[in-house]
Structure 1
């Protein structure tokens, strides 16, 4: 295994270092300055825009307020009109989102070796961190040398009162996401297709909060109740719906460790673990099934975080992988259910003809199609820069069979 990234900075005239953690893969910042309750939002915003990270040593609640103030300054900036071309508009919108995330990600907080936040009025984030990151690891030697262990100097000023040695630095934005994800995991997401029972998404696993695609799987006529494959199961929601519909055995695959753990936990919680076998695989398990279900990422673009891999798929890798392997994993009269939004078509990222051509090249024929329109608020938000595409979106369940 590669050594964890280490970030270095100078504090109170002493060299410091700690492990660097970033879920979206951001590199350790090259320059860090200390910030506290006296730091003004304009100053913090300017430094963050210039690529300087701010390590917070003040009150945790004040750090949240500073983050909000920085976000307001980003949102107040004059916006360039998006181009008329839908694909160009999408890419420019994504670039603006990524720039916003980069700037806000420059506000850092420390975590100690047990994932506690050594700041005044900080919440207990240890459970959220353990669930997302796993058990705390030994601190690398670079992050626990004499300079780090020495702690703050004598008679510290206000910026140094909380300058406890840090095992890890992480962006405040990421920690807030951890807290929110942990609450969602506890609360769960109600799924009407499961009779109102809840799916509990893990951190980094896409939540089925937008549930119209689940309703399609709950309503489509089953070709068989003997066996089904659920490709890219995520939370296990579709496998659980199929089990509740009476499919006697479902093999649910994924290659993400978080998703595998999440699906197993949810199928146990819902009482369908005896029917659902969760296995690690890149797309298909061995063998053939009379029903193979897949809900791949809908938009061919680059993800910027692990959870975005459920939405963005560069080059339609999973879509084409599923289609090209489907015929070899279907029984002669079997069906493949492809659940796919046409949002990428409205954004100019994947022509409809390209999808139909992919079916034909994979030796598949269309047996039928069920459509549903989105119910999520963004579909009706006229202030969304991509409203025209979102408002026209339709999600489909394509029933595919082997071409004769």
Structure 2
């Protein structure tokens, strides 16, 4: 008996079995055929659309080219004009899901040490270790699309993301939301700190630790940063140590709040109240607004007298029809909180100007706000 999912495929001397590796919670394909350099893109695309996976046995770089050719065939499908923002969002998610499912059908073998036994294959041992954990000696199979994502994440982790306000780089770990959008960092940098916040602040859902580092740079003597995800905790600790703030910031595993009260509590929850399709989407999607409502409903009990809670939230969900402003204000009021002020910033990311993006109208209208909340 094995404690992990397995995948089987036919060989000339009988069926074979290996461990199925995935970070997207996708079950192993039920039908698998062998493919190599002679496999055409049209045939590969047809099989993938039918739900048949292709286990690659040819040159690795040819497999990458085949995946690109399959991607081009997916992009030929026209978009539906004249639909509502909510319908556009739902269609976009459906399309992304179908795209991931189809492109995920091109599979690559891995040996027990995370080496790809194919010609011209790259070295991916460290990238796999960062995502899957140390090699366990088990031969395995993963989708090429996921492996390329692991390689990209490893490069981001090595290179880091430049944060001008810190005059330093933040290095995101695999599966931890990367601070490539700087709007929310700017908001925390420019909003005046409450007087008592120079002594203590809490940061809820720290992720890479970027906001905790910024608060430390601004002179907050003690910050308690929490997260529930072990990857995020390790990432935050590594970044804060590298930046020299380990003595100022305590990183704790907690579901939202640490024990006690603080004069400043900061939270940047996922902005979209929708169900994540994979574990990696939890930084973007907050099902039923659980983290948002958990923060609001618990904030008053964790603020010192006269303290402030900073909620950093985009109105992207409002423009998509996933949430209304009245719903947010009602949740703030029901939590016993009052809005003391609000800082706003417009998006700077490239998608906000990309008219070809199916969600362009909502992205162009988006405003990210820092809501200053106090207990009633």
- Tell me the secondary structure at the aligned position of residue 241 of structure 1: helix
| Of 351, 355, 358, the match for 2:324 | 351
> Deviations for 1:69-92, whole angstroms, at most 9, x for unmatched residues?
000001012333362x22122111
> Deviations for 1:251-298, whole angstroms, at most 9, x for unmatched residues?
110011110000000000100000011110010011000000000000
The reply on whether 1:198 has 2:198 as its aligned counterpart is no
> Deviations for 1:321-341, whole angstroms, at most 9, x for unmatched residues?
000000000001110000000
- Tell me the secondary structure at the aligned position of residue 272 of structure 1: coil
- Tell me the secondary structure at the aligned position of residue 340 of structure 2: strand
Please give the alpha-carbon distance, in whole angstroms, between the structure 2 residues aligned to 1:285 and 1:114.
Answer: 39
- Tell me the secondary structure at the aligned position of residue 225 of structure 2: strand
The reply on whether 1:75 has 2:46 as its aligned counterpart is no
Please give the alpha-carbon distance, in whole angstroms, between the structure 2 residues aligned to 1:231 and 1:205.
Answer: 15
| Of 157, 181, 191, the match for 1:210 | 181
Please give the alpha-carbon distance, in whole angstroms, between the structure 1 residues aligned to 2:145 and 2:173.
Answer: 18
| Of 122, 138, 153, the match for 1:181 | 153
Q: Contact 1:327 / 1:363 at 8 angstroms: preserved in 2? A: yes
Cα drift, residue 138 of structure 1: 4.7
Cα drift, residue 248 of structure 1: 0.5
**In the alignment, which residue of structure 1 is the partner of 2:216?**
243
> Deviations for 1:126-155, whole angstroms, at most 9, x for unmatched residues?
01001111101253xxxxxxxxxxxxxxxx
Please give the alpha-carbon distance, in whole angstroms, between the structure 2 residues aligned to 1:372 and 1:56.
Answer: 47
- Tell me the secondary structure at the aligned position of residue 11 of structure 1: coil
The reply on whether 1:34 has 2:34 as its aligned counterpart is yes
Q: TM-score with structure 2 length normalisation?
A: 0.98
**In the alignment, which residue of structure 2 is the partner of 1:383?**
356
Number of corresponding residues: 374
**In the alignment, which residue of structure 2 is the partner of 1:113?**
112
Structure 1: which 4+ aligned runs deviate by more than 4 Å?
A: none
Q: Contact 2:23 / 2:280 at 8 angstroms: preserved in 1? A: no
Q: Label 1:207 to 1:263 Cα distance change in 2 as closer, same or farther (>3 A).
A: same
Q: TM-score with structure 1 length normalisation?
A: 0.91
**In the alignment, which residue of structure 1 is the partner of 2:94?**
95
- Larger displacement relative to structure 2 (85-94 or 266-275): 85-94
- Tell me the secondary structure at the aligned position of residue 295 of structure 2: helix
- Tell me the secondary structure at the aligned position of residue 24 of structure 1: coil
The reply on whether 1:259 has 2:210 as its aligned counterpart is no
Q: Contact 2:175 / 2:280 at 8 angstroms: preserved in 1? A: yes
**In the alignment, which residue of structure 2 is the partner of 1:150?**
none
The reply on whether 1:322 has 2:291 as its aligned counterpart is no
Give the alignment's Cα RMSD to 1 decimal: 1.2
Please give the alpha-carbon distance, in whole angstroms, between the structure 2 residues aligned to 1:310 and 1:123.
Answer: 29
Please give the alpha-carbon distance, in whole angstroms, between the structure 2 residues aligned to 1:384 and 1:110.
Answer: 34
Please give the alpha-carbon distance, in whole angstroms, between the structure 2 residues aligned to 1:17 and 1:307.
Answer: 27
Please give the alpha-carbon distance, in whole angstroms, between the structure 2 residues aligned to 1:290 and 1:42.
Answer: 61
Please give the alpha-carbon distance, in whole angstroms, between the structure 1 residues aligned to 2:2 and 2:204.
Answer: 30
Please give the alpha-carbon distance, in whole angstroms, between the structure 2 residues aligned to 1:11 and 1:245.
Answer: 62
**In the alignment, which residue of structure 2 is the partner of 1:158?**
none
> Deviations for 1:12-60, whole angstroms, at most 9, x for unmatched residues?
2421000001111000100000000000000000000000000000000
Please give the alpha-carbon distance, in whole angstroms, between the structure 1 residues aligned to 2:248 and 2:118.
Answer: 47
| Of 285, 297, 314, the match for 2:258 | 285
